[in-house]
Chain A
Amino acid sequence: MIRVAWRSMTDNRTRFLLPAIAIVFGVAFVTGSLVYGDTVRAAVEGAPKDFDVQVEQRDNKAMSPATVEQLRGVAGVGGLRPVAEGPTFLVGKDGKLVGTPGSDGGVGFDPQRHKLTSGTAPAGRDEVALDKWAAQRAGYQVGDKMRVVVAGTARDVRLTGVFDYQNTRIVQGGTLVAFADATAREQFAPGSGGYTSALLTAAPGTSQDALATAVATALPDLRTSTADELTGLEASDNDKLTMILLIFAGVALFSSAFLVSNTFTMLAAARAREHALLRAIGAGRRYVLRMVLTEATLLGVAATVVGYLLGVGGAAVLKAQFAVFEGAPVPLRPFTPATVLAAFGVGLGVTLLAAYLPARRAAAIPPIAALRTGLPPTGKSLRRRNITGFVVTAIGTLMVVLGRGEQTMIYLGAPAMLIGLIILTPLLAAGLTSVLRGPLTRFAGLTGTLAVENTRRNPRRTGATASALMIGLSVCAAVTVPIASISAKSAETAKSWNSADIQVEALPFADISPSVADDIAKVPGVEHVTALHQALLPLEKGALQVTGVNAGSISALVPLTIREGSLDQLGTGIAVQSGVAAAHGWTVGSKVGKEKPLTVVATFDAPEEFGADALVDTANIPAGELWTREVLIKAGGSAEKVRDDIRTALDNPVLVVQTRDEYIEAQAAQFDLYLNLLYAMLSVSVLIGAMSVVNTMTMSTMERIREIGLLRAVGLGRSQVGAVLRIESVIIAVIGALAGVVSGCLIGAMTVSGQANTTPVLPWDRLAVFMAITVAIGVAAAFVPARRAVRIPILTAIKTDTE
Chain B
Amino acid sequence: MDQRTVAVADRLGKVYGSGQAAVTALDEVSAQFRRGEFTAVMGPSGSGKSTLMHCLAGLDTPTSGKAWVGGADLGSLKEAELTRLRRDRIGFVFQSFNLLPTLTAWENIVLPLTLAGTKPDQDWTRRVVDAVGLGDRLGHRPSELSGGQQQRVACARALVSRPEIVVADEPTGNLDSRSGAQILGLLRRCAKEWGQTVLMVTHDPIAAGYADRVLFLADGRIVDEMAGPTPDLVLDRMRRFDGQAVR
Contacts and interface: CB of A to CB of B under 8 A. Distances in A.
Interface of A: 4, 7-8, 11, 273-274, 277-285, 287, 367-368, 370-371
B177 interface: no
B99 to A, nearest CB: 8
B204 interface: no
A159 to B, nearest CB: 71
Given A368-B60, A371-B94, A283 B115 contact: yes
Contact of B169 (A7, A8, A11, A371): A371
B77 interface: no
Interface in B80-124: 80, 83-84, 86-88, 92, 94, 97-103, 107, 111-112, 115-116
A274 B100 contact: yes
A282 B101 contact: no
B233 interface: no
B94 A370 contact: yes
B223 interface: no
Contacts of A367: 59, 86
A97 B110 CA distance: 75
A593 B98 CA distance: 100
A7 B84 CA distance: 26
A284 B83 contact: yes
A280 B60 contact: no
9 contacts: A4-B102, A277-B94, A278-B100, A281-B157, A282-B84, A282-B112, A282-B115, A283-B115, A371-B50
Given A273-B97, A281-B87, A283-B83, 17 more contacts: A4-B102, A11-B101, A274-B100, A277-B98, A277-B100, A278-B115, A280-B92, A281-B92, A281-B111, A282-B86, A282-B88, A284-B80, A285-B79, A367-B86, A371-B54, A371-B59, A371-B169
Contacts of A8: 102
Contacts of B50: 371
Nearest to A12: B102
Contacts of A371: 50, 54, 59, 94, 169
B79 to A, nearest CB: 8
B102 A282 contact: no
Contacts of B54: 368, 371
Contacts of B102: 4, 7-8, 11
A282 B158 CA distance: 11
A636 B83 CA distance: 95
B86 A281 contact: yes
Nearest to B95: A371
Contacts of B84: 282
Contacts of B115: 278, 281-283, 287
Given A367-B86, A371-B54, A280 B101 contact: no
B116 A282 contact: yes
Interface in B181-234: none
A277 B101 CA distance: 11
Contact of A277 (B60, B88, B97): B97
Nearest to B113: A282
A782 B20 CA distance: 46
Chain B: interface secondary structure? helix
Contacts of A7: 102-103
A278 B111 CA distance: 9
Residue among A279, A282, A368 having the largest count of chain B Cβ atoms under 10 Å: A282
A368 B101 contact: no
A274 B142 CA distance: 13
Contacts of A280: 59, 86, 92
Residue among B50, B97, B103 having the largest count of chain A Cβ atoms under 10 Å: B97
B151 to A, nearest CB: 14
A801 B52 CA distance: 27
Residue among B59, B79, B84 having the largest count of chain A Cβ atoms under 10 Å: B59
Contact of A282 (B79, B87, B97): B87
Nearest to B53: A371
A285 B101 CA distance: 20
Interface in B157-194: 157, 169
Residue among A8, A11, A273, A367 having the largest count of chain B Cβ atoms under 10 Å: A367
Contacts of A287: 115
Contacts of A273: 97
B157 to A, nearest CB: 7
A8 B100 CA distance: 10
The 5 closest A-B pairs by CB, nearest first: A282-B87, A368-B59, A282-B86, A8-B102, A7-B102
A803 to B, nearest CB: 9
A722 to B, nearest CB: 30
A137 B86 CA distance: 76
A279 B112 CA distance: 10
Contacts of B103: 4, 7
Contacts of A285: 79, 83
Nearest to B100: A274
Contacts of B98: 277
Interface string B112-149: 10011000000000000000000000000000000000
Contacts of B116: 282
B110 to A, nearest CB: 11
B75 to A, nearest CB: 16
A370 B58 CA distance: 13
Contacts of A282: 83-84, 86-88, 112, 115-116
B101 A274 contact: yes
Contacts of B169: 371
Contacts of B112: 281-282
A170 to B, nearest CB: 59
Residue among A283, A285, A371 having the largest count of chain B Cβ atoms under 10 Å: A371
B204 to A, nearest CB: 18
A285 B99 CA distance: 18
Contacts of B88: 282
A273 B97 CA distance: 8
Contacts of A279: 83, 86
Contacts of B157: 281
A67 to B, nearest CB: 81
A278 B100 CA distance: 8
Nearest to B59: A368
A140 to B, nearest CB: 66
A284 B169 CA distance: 22
A7 B102 CA distance: 6
A493 B204 CA distance: 90
Residue among A7, A279, A280, A368 having the largest count of chain B Cβ atoms under 10 Å: A280
Contacts of B60: 368
A283 B97 contact: no
A4 B50 CA distance: 32
A367 B83 CA distance: 9
A277 B97 CA distance: 8
Contacts of A277: 94, 97-100
B62 to A, nearest CB: 13
Nearest to B97: A273
A281 B154 CA distance: 11
Nearest to A287: B115
A278 B94 CA distance: 13
A245 B170 CA distance: 61
Nearest to A283: B115
A109 to B, nearest CB: 73
A564 to B, nearest CB: 91
A520 to B, nearest CB: 79
B247 to A, nearest CB: 32
Contacts of B100: 274, 277-278
A367 B98 CA distance: 13
A399 to B, nearest CB: 43
A277 to B, nearest CB: 7
A4 B97 CA distance: 18
A4 B60 CA distance: 29
A368 B88 CA distance: 17
Nearest to B82: A367
B133 to A, nearest CB: 22
Contacts of B101: 11, 274
Nearest to B98: A277
Contacts of A368: 54, 59-60
